[in-house]
Every structure is written in structure tokens, then in C-alpha cells.
Amino acid sequence: MLGWLAWATSLPGCALTYLVLFANGMSATPVRIGAGGVFGLALLPSAGLLLSGAGAWAGYRDDALLAALAIHGMPLLAACAAWYALSFECMRLRRGDRLPPPERIGFQPDGTAPRLRFELHQAATEPVDGWPRMTHPRMEDWVSVQPEVLARNADLVSSWAVGPQEGGCYQVGLRFTAEAVERMNRRGLRRRLAVLIDDELLLAPHLFGEIAEQMHLNGVFDRGEAVRLAGGLIQGQSPQAAPSR
């Protein structure tokens, strides 16, 4: 009886635990489960674990230890695996709780000249005749940069710094004019772009489709670098109030 009861409690409990953890991990916006949720998810596997131990002890007293372990071994292992997964999830959530909510610092034109010269070029991983080869200390490869400029500072409507993301890094967001977006997509861009700041390569992001109105530069920026970059690309340096996302 204990064997069937252990199977009936531990296996559905483990299945529920793994299902919730998998759905939460695959979600674009993971939910913090919290102590109550962890207790609820672990309740059924815990019951199976206790019943498995009781059944094994009863089998030992009846000189049938091997038979008892064969009956209860699977629920025991499943319950231990569920506890391991829950412990890992708790550590991940605790680490995420230490991150402050993302802040957004936006910049709009005010008529002054930009402090940093921004250029967006088409790029290629392989060497191309007439395209200079460039790299950056943060990059692991070299790219060939087309001399023709796709977009400049004048093609930017606004820019902003957002962060911190996971790992403490910040992003820099750019919004292009509709004319610039149409012009860039009309040229049939390849798979890679090159972002130049003051004639030096900053990033070489991969392109997976048409350029949208907004673009995020996902470099390894700290807060100071992201704010300086976002504030220096457009005509103006005055931060504008913008909601946190």
C-alpha cells in the first residue's frame, strides 16, 4: 500500500514541479515564485519522499529490503531531483531579486551639436575588396566595413540608456527617423552591421531581418558608458523624463 501511495504522490508532484519550472524559465517575463510557491511545489514530492523512506524501513523489518527499494527507489530519486531543481530555482530568484529595477534615461534634441559622431555601416564577416577590416577589444572577430554610410547622427530621433540588465550591464537604445529606416531597408542589407563612434568600431551586431524604428546596442556598458553614449549621439545632452520599462 505504501508503494502505490508513494508513486501516487511523488511522481505527479515531480511532474508538476518540473512543468512549472520549465514554463517559468521559458517565459519572456519569468515570475518570482516566492517562498509560498516553493513550499506548495515541494509538498507532493516531499510526501512521496517520506512515504518512500517509511516503506523502505518497513521492508527492512520484514527482511525484504531489496524489494522495498525496488518499489520506492524511483519516487525517491524523483523527489530528490525535484528538490535539486527547486534549490537551483531559489538561487536564481534570489540573485535576480538583488538587481534593481531597470532605469531609463532618455535624450532628445535641443539644437546643440552632438558630442560623438555616429555612423552605421553595412558589414561582413569575410574580407571584401575595398572594405577596411576593423575590430574592437570587446569583440572576438574582425569585420569588413563598407565605406558607404547608412545612417548618421542626423538620422536619430532620440536615444536612451536602459539598465541594469542581468549581469549589471546597460543597453543603449536608438530611434531612427522613418526616412532613415525606409532608406536602409531599401538597400537590401546583409547579415551584419557596424556601429562606428568617432571613426572607431564599437559594435558589429548581427542582422536577422529588416531594420526597425528602434535598435538596441547590447554592448558590455556600465551605467556611465551607456549614459555618455546615449547623450552624445544626438543633438542635445539634456536628459528627459522617461518611464522605467
**pLDDT single digits (tens) 66-116:** 455 555 555 566 666 565 556 655 555 554 444 556 778 888 777 666 789
Q: What is the pLDDT of residues 211-222, one digit of tens each?
A: 888 888 987 888
Same domain? For 126 and 221 the reply is yes
Same domain? For 230 and 144 the reply is yes
pLDDT at 135: 92
- The answer to whether position 61 is within a domain reads yes
Last residue of a domain, one of 79, 97, 115: 97
Same domain? For 90 and 170 the reply is no
- Average pLDDT (14-43) is 55
Same domain? For 115 and 202 the reply is yes
Q: What is the CATH number of the domain that holds 178?
A: 3.30.1360.200
Same domain? For 109 and 89 the reply is no
Same domain? For 109 and 198 the reply is yes
Same domain? For 203 and 127 the reply is yes
Same domain? For 48 and 131 the reply is no
Q: What is the pLDDT of residues 149-205, one digit of tens each?
A: 999 999 999 999 988 877 778 999 999 999 999 988 888 777 789 999 999 999 998
Instruction: Name the pTM for this structure.
Output: 0.55
- The answer to whether position 83 is within a domain reads yes
Last residue of a domain, one of 62, 97, 132: 97
Same domain? For 188 and 235 the reply is yes
Using an 8 Å Cβ cutoff, are 51 and 8 in contact?
no
Same domain? For 153 and 117 the reply is yes
The residues, ordered by sequence, that sit 6+ positions from 239 with a Cβ below 8 Å of its Cβ are 105, 106, 107, 231
Last residue of a domain, one of 97, 119, 152: 97
Residue 214: left (phi > 0), alpha (psi -120 to 50), or beta? beta
CB-based burial of residue 210 (10 Å sphere; 0-12 exposed, 13-18 middle, 19+ buried)? exposed
Q: At CA 142, angle to CA 139 and CA 219, rounded to 5?
A: 25
Residue range(s) defining the domain that contains residue 158: 103-240
Same domain? For 141 and 230 the reply is yes
- Average pLDDT (231-242) is 60
pLDDT at 40: 58
List beta partners, residue 119: 152, 196
- The answer to whether position 245 is within a domain reads no
- The answer to whether position 118 is within a domain reads yes
Same domain? For 112 and 90 the reply is no
Total number of domains constituting the chain: 2
